[in-house]
Amino acid sequence: MADLSIDFAGIRAPNPFWLASAPPTNSGHQIHRAFEYGWGGAVWKTIGAPVLNISNRYGGLSIAGQRLLAINNVELISDRPLDVNLREIAEVKRMWPDRAVIVSAMVDADPQAWRDIVMKIEDTGADGIELNYGCPQGMSERGMGAAVGQVPEMCELNTQWVTSITRLPVIVKLTPNITHITEPAHAALAGGATALSLINTINSVMKIDLDTLRITPNIGGRGTHGGYAGPAVKPIALNMLAELMTDARVRASGVPISGMGGIVTWRDAAEFLLLGATSLQVCTAAMHYGYRIVEDMIDGLSNWMDDKGFATIYDVAGRALPQTSTFGELDLSYQAVARIDPDKCIQCNLCYVACNDTAHQCIDLVADGGVRVNPGFDVRANGRQVADTRPQPVVREPDCVGCALCANVCPVDGCIEMVSVPSGRESITWDQLTAQRPEVATSWDAMMAYRKEQGIDIH
């Protein structure tokens, strides 16, 4: 059986699944219960400056009946008294010595404020500190959270104030509300961070109620921006994780990264591991389904690792990174075409509509007898009505550019597959092509001449 235990910047845990700093880690009672279900660690809901939360603080994104594809929150950091949180942190760590207990902290950008909170955290026996530089609502207006994470100089300075006075591992939690995620990461490393975590929530307005014309969530007739999280943010989180793990300075530093943002299943977790994360944080999924989801995560990841022959988390971590690339390094000669399995096709025609209206018009609807038809007209063959049939979508492969839109809109798994086919051209990347023939990047005449030479005809 695979060994799921981790050593994350000196913080040990029996598995990589940690609850993220959020409502699921608001109290000792909650974390006790979470650990009983098997969570490997928990990042305590952020403690620090005094706050007062508001009511009606969550908004959810539902599409086609699927609930909570994303959640928007306007909640602040912990509104429980500091001494209560500190006492419960100590109690949890004492009762669960084998689990990772990390304390998220946020205070004013002042060295004395950080000294005061860090010394109190150290006294609890916690395993590490996570510096919350990501919260985009409420706290950022007070000069904390994202207001620090979005300014590399402030990120470095605040981190240095903490790392210079503590013996504990310091994890810097990065905000995604920034143009280049590498910049605050470099700043955190310059400040002495021993680990990074990402992503925090994305600044957002969830929706407008078309009956009341008010922003949701509605707080006494008013609304505001909040933090966006849940399954819908996973692609953004994976991209930012890949950016860090392929950055030379981050890779050279050797600091581990805790990945989060849309992890719901063990499959999601495996994707974060494959891009280099070595601990995983979960919030929205626990809020939606409860703590017990970790049982499926542990079993699923363990079984997958066994099937793949991975003995430890570190055998998995980063295995997909060698395949990540810039556009300029992709093979321009690679060719794929869509193929529709007629035995699986339900003749819904979504592929035809998508291709005909918004892609490259290379799917035909074909009736019995090979007659091409248009949707909305009677299907006739040889002048007779074709009984009990619907036209079958068929791809004209010579005209297919391999965009894969049809495969993505098809509601039947495995009905449309993208199949690699020989292009007849030598392998070349955009970087190589423009180095050899720089004129193709600036002149359409030169580009069309190159296409003619290579036999490239875009339908």
Q: Tokens representing 382?
A: 């040889």
Q: What is the pLDDT of residues 290-304, one digit of tens each?
A: 999 999 999 999 999
Four-residue CA torsion sign, 161, 165, 171, 173: negative
Decide: 244 and 182 in contact? Cβ < 8 Å: yes
Fold of 6-321: TIM Barrel (3.20.20)
Decide: 287 and 71 in contact? Cβ < 8 Å: yes
- From CA 110, how far away is CA 197, in angstroms rounded? 22
- pLDDT score, position 387: 42
Q: For this structure, is 406 an active site residue? A: no
E-strand stretches of 41-153: 41-48, 58-63, 66-73, 100-106, 128-132
> Which residue ranges make up each domain of the chain?
6-321, 327-432
- pLDDT score, position 138: 87
- pLDDT score, position 459: 72
Q: Tokens representing 99?
A: 């689990």
Among candidate residues 135, 155, 355, 410, the one labeled active-site is 135
- From CA 156, how far away is CA 248, in angstroms rounded? 18
- pLDDT score, position 379: 44
- 327-432 carries CATH number 3.40.50.720: no
Mean pLDDT by 10 residues, the chain (459 residues): 97 98 98 98 97 93 92 94 98 98 97 98 98 92 93 97 98 97 98 98 94 92 93 98 98 98 98 98 98 98 98 98 96 97 96 97 87 56 52 95 97 97 96 98 97 90
- From CA 453, how far away is CA 437, in angstroms rounded? 13
Decide: 209 and 218 in contact? Cβ < 8 Å: yes
- pLDDT score, position 385: 47
